[in-house]
Amino acid sequence: MSDLGSKRLQGRVAFISGGLRGIGLACAERFLAEGAEVVLSDLDAADSEVASTTLARLGQAASYISANVAKEEDWERAVATVKERHGAAHVLINNAGIDLTGAVETLSLEGWRRIMSINVDGVFLGTKHFVPLLAASGADVKGGASIINVSSIMGLVGYNEVSAYNASKGAVRLFTKGIAIEFAQKKMPIRANSLHPGFVLTPLLNAGFQRWVDAGFAEKPQDLVDTMAATTPIGRLADPSELASAAFFLASSDSSYMTGAELVIDGGWTAQ
Ligand SMILES: NC(=O)c1ccc[n+]([C@@H]2O[C@H](COP(=O)([O-])OP(=O)(O)OC[C@H]3O[C@@H](n4cnc5c(N)ncnc54)[C@H](O)[C@@H]3O)[C@@H](O)[C@H]2O)c1
């Protein structure tokens, strides 16, 4: 039986970057069902159709900030807004990310720097600017505040023509361990863990599959879904809600003794 909606995040404020789609949106939905107040950020303008309709559907406990994770001034504005709206932050999900595929000798320095600026700088900047508010709020909840950095199975193992994404997600994995040690040694009430999704059916994955189809690797996206499912021991791709369940665990007091760890949600893909 599911404990969805058990309200175990009541009284907690969560900030989720890249929250308008995919895994970030699923986390927002789950956290709201668990009683949290949620602030989402994404690139879309606050008055865009996607942001307006999503926020209207999520209800009054959710709000939105248009912010680019690669820009330091956007993080400064985001933290100030959360402070003003809620006076606290207990959970930070550094979720926004992009992918980049291609043989290493074909990658441009511009493309490399772009993926690093979003996937790595974005996680660093979000952490840096939210730490004071998380530290101030974390003492009020069992297990403290929680930083959840979204890495990937591609941050654990290499994969053909994914080297830049591998590098960015590997950086997220070790950055998370570094800050976890730092917070623990300084007795700051913040835990930090990395989340490692396998193949999850989101707009990011769909766009990636479409690029592979365009490059002639497959006839249609569904062929790639089938191939990925066949190479995954559980035999299917993940639904974003299954990643949100893991994020809920990391956000809640149930993971109070967990910091600097890697939570792998991949249907057994890296166990092979
Ligand atoms: N889908 C998968 O199979 C999968 C697997 C492993 C890891 N991940 C990781 O999970 C995270 C979420 O991925 P997803 O599949 O939900 O992707 P998605 O593209 O469906 O959603 C990501 C969101 O991030 C936003 N975003 C992109 N760049 C941004 C920026 N500079 N500033 C703010 N927001 C930005 C996008 O607009 C989008 O709404 C990413 O870090 C991704 O690398 C995804």
pLDDT confidence of 1, banded at 50, 70, 90? very low
Ligand 1 centre to CA of 179 (Å) is 22
Ligand 1 centre to CA of 119 (Å) is 9
At residue 86, does pLDDT exceed 50? Answer: yes
| Side chain identity at residue 138, one-letter code | G
Mean pLDDT of the chain: 96
At residue 5, does pLDDT exceed 80? Answer: no
Q: What digits encode the pLDDT tens for the residues 218-271?
A: 999 999 999 999 999 999 999 999 999 999 999 999 999 999 999 999 999 999
Task: Answer yes or no: is 61 within a domain.
Answer: yes
User: Ligand 1 pocket test: which of 173, 202, 266 has the largest number of ligand atoms within 8 Å of its C-beta?
Assistant: 202
Q: The tokens of 28 are what?
A: 């927002």
Task: Answer yes or no: is 5 within a domain.
Answer: no
Strand order in the sheet with 262-265: 62-66, 37-42, 13-17, 91-94, 145-150, 190-197, 262-265
Q: Which atom of ligand 1 is nearest to the CA of 197?
A: 6
Task: Answer yes or no: is 230 within a domain.
Answer: yes
Task: Answer yes or no: is 1 within a domain.
Answer: no
Give the catalytic positions in this structure: 165
Q: What digits encode the pLDDT tens for the residues 32-52?
A: 999 999 999 999 999 999 999
Nearest Cα residue to atom 19 of ligand 1: 204
Task: Answer yes or no: is 6 within a domain.
Answer: no
Q: What digits encode the pLDDT tens for the residues 184-219?
A: 999 999 999 999 999 999 999 999 999 889 989 899
Count of domains observed in the chain: 1
Number of neighbours of residue 264 by Cβ within 10 angstroms: 21
Residue 260 DSSP SS3:
coil
Ligand 1 centre to CA of 20 (Å) is 9
Task: Answer yes or no: is 60 within a domain.
Answer: yes
Within 6 Å (CB) of ligand 1, which residues are found?
17-18, 20-24, 42-43, 68-70, 95-98, 118, 150, 152, 197, 199-200, 202-205
Q: What is the pLDDT of residue 217?
A: 87
Q: How far apart, in whole angstroms, are the C-alpha atoms of residue 172 and residue 149? A: 7
Q: Which atom of ligand 1 is nearest to the CA of 25?
A: 16
Q: How far apart, in whole angstroms, are the C-alpha atoms of residue 7 and residue 3? A: 9
Q: What is the pLDDT of residue 3?
A: 58
Which range marks the domain in which residue 22 is found? 13-271
Task: Answer yes or no: is 8 within a domain.
Answer: no
Which residues are CB-neighbours of 249 under 8 A, at least 6 positions away?
255, 263
Q: CATH no. for residue 91?
A: 3.40.50.720
Q: What digits encode the pLDDT tens for the residues 90-145?
A: 999 999 999 999 999 999 999 999 999 999 999 999 999 999 999 999 999 999 99
Q: How far apart, in whole angstroms, are the C-alpha atoms of residue 63 and residue 84? A: 12
Task: Answer yes or no: is 55 within a domain.
Answer: yes
